[in-house]
Chains A and B, each alone.
Chain A
Amino acid sequence: MKKFSPTALAVALSFALPALPAAAANEADLAEIRAQLQQMKSAYEQRIAALEQKLAQAEGAASRAGAAAAQAESVAREAESAARQASLRPPASHPATGFNPDISLILQGQYRDMKKVAERRIGGFWNPAAHDDGDGHGAGERGFSVDHTELVFAANVDPYWRGQAILALQDGEVEVEEAWFQSLGLGHGFGLKGGRLRSGIGYLNEQHAHAWDFADAPLMYQALFGEHASYAQDGVQLKWLAPTPFFLEFGAELGRGQNFPGTDRDKNGAGAGALFAHVGDDLGDSHSWRAGLSYLQTKAKERETHFADAGGLDEAAAFFDGRSKTWVADFVWKWAPAGDAKQRSFKLQGEYFQRRETGTLTCSSEDGGINNCAPTGTESVVSDYRTRQSGWYLQGVYQFSPRWRAGLRYDRLDSGRRDFGINAANVVVEDYQPKRVTLMADYSWSEFARMRLQFAQDKSMPGVTDNQVWLQYIMSLGAHGAHKF
């Protein structure tokens, strides 16, 4: 409509204007005015036509510009997506670090509030630390402390082998917790591992402290394996997975057996052997489980500990020579609604052990002290040593929101039968059933950062009820590998 309005205006003007001067002017004037008007009219018409043409041109240009703009937009969008793909691609040249192993570092520390106890030990059980320095996972420092810092390296060696090392860094020392190679190419369900490795016995044994659901290990693991609360040795492990529709796995290990309950023996051959079998499967979408049965046999030579002297004199140094046989039965059951553990999940796990040790016990004194075994400080008394001890724990951890979990654990051990032969008269042999109840709640910002508050009533020491509070953090940096089930 707009483009016709200038014409209408001009026409209106051409008829309206002549009426005003016509009243007072003569014929000649009128003719002149008419001529002028005629000129004006034609000039206007020309200008209007020119304007109309310009307008039409502008409109065409505008629609072309619109099309061009749309085209530009789509080009821009393509460019943007191309840029997203291309410019953010890793650099074409691969730096030398490309072949480096996956490295992760685990920071772990806590605040602990617990009773001051001179020498922490589990009542009724062989104290694995001859001289308790109190830095094991079982007890630890009171107040603020940093546990060992774990450094993990892992990578495929070549198409046939994979390697992993876990180093524990502590003040002034580096301990090789694990360092092994693992086969990738045996096939037929076989897997071979060699080096220093955590044994496949039990459920918790292969897990490192940062993967535990509580700040400390179950009493059972502390009683069985001492300060590290897991059994590791230098040796080899062969596993075979049966070709069944459910999970069925068998494993055997041979090794030096240098750790408690065995000792280093300075001999050829194997000091320890283990056998285990695991079975597991799913029940519907929401339930998964695994159960296992394991056997560990180790040899000990002059395995040292201290006993209180039956005569109340200086404590007796005792040495065990013989065999230690341990059975462990374990199960774990996990629930997540429809198999999705993001919002809620539950994990129930329990383990039971029974250990028999047979051999001899040599009772003597240390540094010439006088006790029932060494009335003048130099003698020693050798007797039979037979024990059959057991224990278990049961724990449940409920994740009730994406970041929060709460857990309850009950520990119970039984000192069982302890036959010390004639040395029963020389050292104090106590019967005791250590117990502990532990409650924890933890919060995870992500799978890499977790903070945990834990309360425990620990009755693992005869005559002591130790109410403990832990506030612990676990942070993992770097390429953190997947955990086992």
Chain B
Amino acid sequence: MKRFLLIGLAAALLSLPAQAALKVFATVPEWAALAQEIGGGRVTVYAATHGLQDPHRIEAKPSLIARARSAQLVVATGAELEVGWLPVVLRESGNRDIQPGRPGYFEAASAVRLLDVPAVLDRAHGDVHAAGNPHIQTDPRNILKVAEALAARMAELDPAEAAAYRSGFAAFAEKWRAALVRWEKIAAPLKGVPVLVQHNAFPYLNAWLGLREVGTLEPRPGVEPSGGHLADVLAKLTAQPARMVLRPAYQHDAPSRWIAERAKIPAVIVPFTVGGTPEAGDLVALFDDTLRRLLAALAAR
């Protein structure tokens, strides 16, 4: 025990000079990438999860509590995405500055309009999120809105570098708007294309690209589809055909593969977040790769 204590104290002392940079604890990779884009060298960013983890099913691991202890800014998605672990991590961290309600706690969902707000809250409908669908990062227009709010929050927390965060945002916004024009141009053929989705993870992507969702493989959000349910979905496809089936990269591929083989449509892995696929190395690449995969699936028939 004593040795651990000594190592701990040594580590604490070593970590002191690094205090200059704003320490950001991001719950998911997309906000980690965004904080890095805005903050550049003025921030040190820790991502609590990586692109192949189901963001609904993370545990309040000791390592996360330890990281939250020294964070100055927690960037979460909100809308109950992290409800299964983040509240415990924040409370156990002993860190006053990152508690909800403090400037050091930022929720991306507060910067955008949420879709799929349920009219009825009943667990009979599965893993519903009372505030609305939390997978806001699949619409790049949302990323820009979050970026603006996040840059303002970073400037508030680190006033000495406020100008740098503002210019960081301005540079990002310029790059992003140009990319938006490019993406929307190449994505034009996707408008109105009927798609199946494995998890109700894409209302924002659909809203952006005009994809028409004709069915969901999960009978209810978060509930694994049974064989019988998949057969029903397949039967409905004859009346209302879909061109492809989408699944977020972190999900098990069996249900979408099953449907894809029988309906003879491509199964598309959507990177969903930074690191979801090897190609989606940063935020721009995330949407480049998403569109590339969707367009490839469209051309496949």
Contacts of A279 in B (CB 8 A): 4, 62
Please tell me if the beta carbons of B60 and A280 are within 8 angstroms of each other in the complex: no
What total of A-B pairs shows CB separation below 8 Å? 152
- B110-118, B172-180, B286-294 - interface stretch: B110-118
Please tell me if the beta carbons of B95 and A189 are within 8 angstroms of each other in the complex: yes
Interface size counted on chain A using CB atoms at 8 A: 57
Please tell me if the beta carbons of A182 and B207 are within 8 angstroms of each other in the complex: no
CA distance A186 to B118 in the complex (A): 37
Contacts of B207 in A (CB 8 A): 81
Chain B residues 144 to 178 lying within 8 A of chain A, measured CB to CB, are none
Q: Does B107 contact A (CB under 8 A)?
A: no
From residue A52, how far is it (CB to closest CB) to chain B in Å?
36
Please tell me if the beta carbons of A85 and B91 are within 8 angstroms of each other in the complex: no
Label chain B's interface by main secondary structure: loop
Closest to A285 in B: B50
Q: Does A188 contact B (CB under 8 A)?
A: yes
Contacts of B115 in A (CB 8 A): 81, 84-85
Please tell me if the beta carbons of A88 and B118 are within 8 angstroms of each other in the complex: yes
B60 partner, pick from A159, A446, A485, beta carbons under 8 A: A485
Interface string of B47-71 (1 = CB under 8 A from A): 0011011100101111101110110
- B25-33, B35-43, B80-88, B256-264 - interface stretch: B80-88
Q: Does B119 contact A (CB under 8 A)?
A: yes
Contacts of A359 in B (CB 8 A): none
Contacts of B250 in A (CB 8 A): 340
* Contact residues on B (Cβ < 8 Å of other chain), bracket: 35 or more
CA distance A90 to B119 in the complex (A): 7
Please tell me if the beta carbons of A245 and B15 are within 8 angstroms of each other in the complex: yes
Please tell me if the beta carbons of A90 and B252 are within 8 angstroms of each other in the complex: no
Please tell me if the beta carbons of A339 and B62 are within 8 angstroms of each other in the complex: no
Q: Does A375 contact B (CB under 8 A)?
A: no
Closest to B85 in A: A482
Please tell me if the beta carbons of B66 and A190 are within 8 angstroms of each other in the complex: no
Most buried by B among A182, A245, A278: A245
Please tell me if the beta carbons of A282 and B94 are within 8 angstroms of each other in the complex: no
From residue A180, how far is it (CB to closest CB) to chain B in Å?
12
Q: Does B127 contact A (CB under 8 A)?
A: yes
Closest to A77 in B: B210
Q: Does A172 contact B (CB under 8 A)?
A: no
Contacts of A282 in B (CB 8 A): 61, 63
Please tell me if the beta carbons of B95 and A187 are within 8 angstroms of each other in the complex: yes
- B96-104, B233-241, B266-274 - interface stretch: B96-104
Please tell me if the beta carbons of A402 and B8 are within 8 angstroms of each other in the complex: no
B117 partner, pick from A88, A242, A293, A402, beta carbons under 8 A: A88
Please tell me if the beta carbons of B113 and A342 are within 8 angstroms of each other in the complex: no
CA distance A271 to B63 in the complex (A): 34
CA distance A483 to B116 in the complex (A): 27
Q: Does B222 contact A (CB under 8 A)?
A: yes
Contacts of B15 in A (CB 8 A): 243, 245
B12 partner, pick from A187, A242, A281, A483, beta carbons under 8 A: A242
From residue B17, how far is it (CB to closest CB) to chain A in Å?
13
Q: Does B223 contact A (CB under 8 A)?
A: yes
Known: A182-B91, A241-B93. A288 touches B59 (CB 8 A): yes
Q: Does A481 contact B (CB under 8 A)?
A: yes
- Identify 19 residue pairs between A and B in the complex whose beta-carbon atoms are under 8 Å apart, listed by A's number: A89-B117, A159-B101, A159-B102, A185-B96, A191-B94, A242-B69, A245-B67, A247-B66, A278-B62, A279-B62, A281-B63, A281-B66, A339-B49, A340-B52, A342-B54, A402-B224, A446-B222, A484-B60, A485-B59
Q: A184-B96, A187-B97, A484-B60 are in contact. List 9 more A-B contacts (CB 8 A).
A: A85-B114, A184-B91, A189-B69, A241-B94, A245-B11, A245-B66, A246-B66, A247-B66, A280-B66
